[in-house]
């Protein structure tokens, strides 16, 4: 039997297939440009440590079409990983927002789906895509147990002083307005890997997830005590297209003086800001190239991006009352040496001293970039949300749901 992990977004689906008791995927894939005629499917098969990659370009009109294409590839005669859909016993779904009621991996029922849908307003770019993925998976794999694993769950250990906003109580008590935090599956995975590597169950860590979306977490002994995203994934760090933290008066000014609507402000802050707003690009590879060409906008953007991260490091070191390791992860965190260098520069007072030569090396797996004399470890740990979800599915199965 197999575990299929699905990460269904608004216009894409990521998936990995695992044998029931193995951490090594037998295949993985990415379905992009859902809703467009030029949809792209990248499907990788792993046999005896040898990868075979197929790339298919075709019209993918909706999530159901994309999932049907995935199911077809899993059983396609020349590259089949399974004989039929019944061999998939469990499907694990990443769900971004679980609110205050969905706080641990959960078998999906009609009631659970209703709760996920009730949170659409808090994760409009994510939860609707998750529900589409769940409903299509239920049709294509009717015998499988469907399990939701929530990005917000890891942050449920935040103390009230960290998750409450200083607004009247009724907004929390009646509307659930509070800090929820996101990227929790990633933060939990890399924090666990760091604790294992450090051989210190009580380690004080700051995990830094830098992709198109960016967030940080303060983790003490494996428990999250603070995180940079808030009610939605918009707060905190500067991101690819999101502004991160901003004075609320900016929004009031734009609304009252410039006539912006709520819809326009949502688009501005989520899709037109961040690195895109500062440089015209949201891909750090493009911005890095411009930085090294001495482009002033790219230089400012990198400095601003790194400065915001540094401020959170200071705050979280105070919250943790010490720091044993920084952990960089996700696409930018794992691959962008310039970001890591700028973040760690002039941080010797916290024992943060990065080895510049090691930082430039492009190696795989966990890496220690700490220079001699640095008392705070600087680690790069590749995240693996799909494996983390598969492990949660196994654990839930072992507990009998």
284 is in an annotated binding site: yes
231 is in an annotated binding site: no
335 is in an annotated binding site: yes
How distant, in Å, are the alpha carbons of 11, 40, 99, 330 from that of 35?
Answer: 7, 11, 28, 26
234 is in an annotated binding site: no
244 is in an annotated binding site: no
Question: Residue 23 catalytic?
Answer: no
351 is in an annotated binding site: no
Which tokens is 207 given?
A: 């995990």
164 is in an annotated binding site: no
385 is in an annotated binding site: yes
333 is in an annotated binding site: yes
N-term to C-term CA, the chain: 17
Long-range contact pairs involving 24-33 (C-beta distance under 8 Å, separation at least 24): 25/386, 25/387, 26/2, 26/81, 27/74, 27/81, 28/386, 29/70, 29/73, 31/60, 31/66, 31/69, 31/70, 33/60
What is the DSSP track for 329-385?
EHHHHHH-HHHHHHHHTT-GGGT--B-HHHHH----S-EE-BPTT-SSEEEE----H
User: Count of residues for the chain?
Assistant: 401
Which tokens is 328 given?
A: 């960089």
210 is in an annotated binding site: yes
14 is in an annotated binding site: yes
**Residue of 78, 83, 151, 226 marked active site:** 151
Contact 209, 330 (CB under 8 A): yes
202 is in an annotated binding site: no
209 is in an annotated binding site: yes
Eight-class DSSP state of 87:
G
Per the annotation, where are the binding residues?
7, 14, 94, 209-213, 283-285, 331-335, 385
Per the annotation, where are the binding residues for substrate?
94
Per the annotation, where are the binding residues for Mg(2+)?
7, 385
Active site residues: 151
Per the annotation, where are the binding residues for ATP?
14, 209-213, 283-285, 331-335
């Amino acid at each position: 039997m197999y575990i299929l992990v699905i990460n269904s977004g608004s216009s894409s689906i990521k998936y990995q297939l695992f044998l029931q008791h193995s951490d090594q995927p037998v295949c993985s894939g990415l379905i992009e440009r859902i809703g467009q005629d030029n949809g792209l499917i990248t499907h990788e098969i792993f046999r005896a440590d040898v990868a075979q990659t197929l790339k298919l370009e075709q019209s993918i009109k909706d999530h159901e079409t994309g999932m049907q294409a995935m199911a077809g590839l899993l059983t396609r005669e020349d590259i089949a990983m399974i004989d039929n859909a019944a061999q998939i016993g469990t499907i694990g779904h990443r769900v971004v927002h679980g609110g205050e009621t969905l706080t641990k991996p959960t078998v999906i029922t009609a009631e659970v789906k209703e709760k996920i849908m009730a949170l659409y307003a808090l994760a409009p770019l994510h939860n609707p895509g998750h529900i589409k993925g769940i409903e299509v998976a239920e049709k294509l794999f009717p015998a499988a147990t469907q399990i939701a694993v929530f990005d917000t769950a890891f942050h449920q250990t935040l103390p009230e002083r960290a998750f409450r906003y200083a607004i009247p109580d009724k907004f929390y008590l009646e509307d659930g307005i509070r800090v929820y935090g996101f990227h929790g599956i990633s933060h939990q995975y890399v924090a666990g890997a760091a604790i294992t590597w450090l051989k210190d169950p009580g380690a004080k860590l700051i995990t830094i997830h830098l992709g198109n979306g960016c967030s940080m977490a303060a983790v003490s002994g494996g428990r999250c005590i603070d995180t940079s995203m808030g009610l939605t994934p918009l707060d905190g760090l500067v991101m690819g297209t999101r502004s991160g933290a901003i004075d609320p008066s900016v929004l009031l000014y734009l609304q009252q003086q410039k006539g912006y609507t709520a819809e326009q402000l949502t688009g501005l802050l989520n899709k037109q800001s961040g690195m895109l707003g500062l440089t015209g690009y949201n891909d750090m590879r493009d911005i890095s190239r411009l930085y090294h060409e001495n482009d002033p906008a790219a230089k400012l953007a990198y400095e601003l991006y790194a400065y915001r991260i540094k401020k959170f490091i200071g705050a979280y070191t105070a919250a943790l009352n010490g720091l044993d390791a920084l952990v960089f992860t996700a696409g930018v965190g794992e691959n962008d040496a310039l970001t890591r260098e700028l973040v760690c520069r002039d941080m010797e007072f916290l024992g943060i001293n990065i080895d510049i030569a090691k930082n430039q090396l492009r190696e795989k797996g966990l890496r220690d970039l700490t220079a001699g004399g640095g008392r705070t470890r600087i680690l790069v740990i590749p995240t693996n949300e799909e494996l983390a979800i598969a492990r949660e599915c196994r654990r839930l199965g072992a507990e009998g749901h």
